[in-house]
Structures are given as structure tokens and as C-alpha cells.
Chains A and B, each alone.
Chain A
Amino acid sequence: MKDLLRTHTSLQEGIEKLLNLQSKIESDASAKYLAMASWLDRNGFENTAGYMYDQAEEERSHFLKVFKYITDMGGIAITPTVNEVQQEFSSFKEVFEIALQNEIAVTHAVNKIIAKCRLENDYATEEFMMWYVREQREEEINARRALEFFELIDENTAAGKFELDKQIAKIGATEI
């Protein structure tokens, strides 16, 4: 009897589920950054709002990349629903604290997929996910750098806020 399952896809069901979850996580991250950009924009932080809009776009491209991979490999890519995201933040700093937490959560999710790939001997997906490992390393560095600025510049003064807005927005531009 022919192996119809294997001929239609090289993805194991468990890995396909994790990849679909990853696509949802990336899609949610894009929505979260968009909400942050909106908050920053309406509170006068125009430069960092631009930075967050770019982050939202980047997360969407990450989502599409994994989504496309699932279909390319013969799997069933499920369009993720967008969850309710936090719209209000108590301070400028809180936005970046949440952004870092979010990046750490994404890194954990990426690591879980790679661990599963090794368990299932799916080296193609592991190789594909290594791109995300490198990407997450950069994302975490950038998110930590943003929080470092809050240690260096006083957020409680108008001048400090103005400077923070300028400096944080430069982070992406100085990316290695």
C-alpha cells in the first residue's frame, strides 16, 4: 500500500502543529507591536512609534515566512486568529519591558520547535528554524538595548523623554 501521508508532506503532525502555533505567535507579536506603536504615537513619541511600526511589519514577515514554509512542505497552514492585545500602557518604559518579555517568549517557542525537530529527525525544519534563532538573538539584543536607555536617560523629565524617543528609534538602524 502506498504511503500517501509521506508523499503529501514531509512534516510530522506534531511539528506541523508547533509551526502553526509559531505562525500564530508571530502574528500576535505583530498585533502587539502595532498596539504599542499606536500608544507611542498618541503620547508624542513619534520616533519610537515609527520603530514599533517597523517591528510590527517585521513580525508579520516572520509570520508569513513560517506560514509559507508549512504549505511548501505539504502541510496545512492555518490562518491564525488575532487575540485581544494590550492597548494601554502605564509608562513609556513599560512598553519596552513588555516588548522584551514578548521576544523572550518567542525565543522559547522557537527553541521548542528545534528540540522537537531533533526528536523527530526533521533536519529540514531544524535548518529552516535556525534563521529564527539568529533573528531572535538580534531581537532580544535590541529589546534589552532599549531598556538600557532607560537606565541612562531620565524618563521623568521632558528632555529625558525627548532624548529617549530619539535614541531608541535609532536601535534598528545600528543593527549589526
Chain B
Amino acid sequence: MQHIYIENMECINQSNDLLFENKKGYSYQCELTNTIVVNFDGIITSYKIRDFLIFQRMVNSVNVLDMLYNLSDEGDYKLIEATKRNFSKELTICEIVQLRDLLNGTKFTLVLNSMVLEVLSDTVVY
């Protein structure tokens, strides 16, 4: 997958593997920097795997139902900040659900890749 240069976080001229894509963005694994690059609604951020997992868990832990039932204005938005603050934005409920979908899809592909490689390494041994 080729990407044009948008911000300094985007990997360029590399063969990067798309991990997941939805209406709001996409993610891929940069083989050069060993990072996960996430483009969500035009905001491009890059994470070491551990930071990515922390971010994913944090987004999953947002109580969307509480936000839905909260009738005050501040209940409409939630500040989502990634570790080391490479992502910091107030998101609506819809955006949180879409970001969650993107991150969970990315994580699923990472786990699947890990499982496939484990199985393939078994084949080599035998």
C-alpha cells in the first residue's frame, strides 16, 4: 500500500500492510518503524504497539450508554486522548463508536496475523 506524505507520522515509500478500514478511516502497519498508523477522519497518528493497545482499551472503556443518557451539553462530547497525546480530540458518540470500530478491527487483524504466523512456524518445524 503506497501513501503520499501528509504529516510526518505517515510512512512513505514503504510497502505497508493495510490492517483495517471503515468509513471514517484506515490503519496500517509500518514495517520500517514497527508502528501502527491510524488515519481517523484525516487525523493521522502513529503508535508503538503497546501504546496502540492502551489507546484501544481506553476507547473501549468509554461508557457510550452513559453519554447517551446524559442530557447535558457536555454529555454530547468526550475528550479522547491517546497515551503520549499523539491523539487528542473531543469526539461525539458516533465518532467514538467509529473510532472503536477502527481500533478493534485493527487489533483483530494484528491478533489474526500473530495466530497465522504461529501456525506457519509450526509447519516449518514439522
Residues of chain A having any CB pair with chain B under 8 Å: 1-9, 74, 76
Contact = CB atoms under 8 A, between A and B. Distances in A.
Interface in B78-126: 110-111, 113-114, 117-118
B31 interface: yes
Interface in B9-63: 17, 29, 31, 34, 36, 48-50, 53-54, 57
18 contacts: A1-B17, A1-B31, A2-B34, A3-B113, A3-B114, A4-B29, A4-B34, A4-B110, A5-B113, A6-B114, A7-B49, A8-B48, A8-B49, A9-B50, A76-B50, A76-B53, A76-B54, A76-B57
A74 B57 CA distance: 16
A3 B110 CA distance: 7
Closest 9 CB pairs of A and B: A4-B49, A8-B49, A5-B114, A1-B17, A3-B117, A3-B114, A5-B110, A6-B114, A1-B113
Interface of B: 17, 29, 31, 34, 36, 48-50, 53-54, 57, 110-111, 113-114, 117-118
A5 B49 contact: yes
A65 to B, nearest CB: 21
A4 B117 contact: no
A166 to B, nearest CB: 49
Nearest to A5: B114
A5 to B, nearest CB: 5
Contacts of A4: 29, 34, 36, 49, 110
A119 to B, nearest CB: 15
Given A2-B29, A7-B49, 20 more contacts: A1-B29, A1-B113, A2-B31, A3-B113, A3-B114, A3-B117, A4-B110, A5-B49, A5-B110, A5-B111, A5-B114, A6-B118, A7-B34, A8-B48, A8-B49, A8-B50, A74-B50, A76-B53, A76-B54, A76-B57
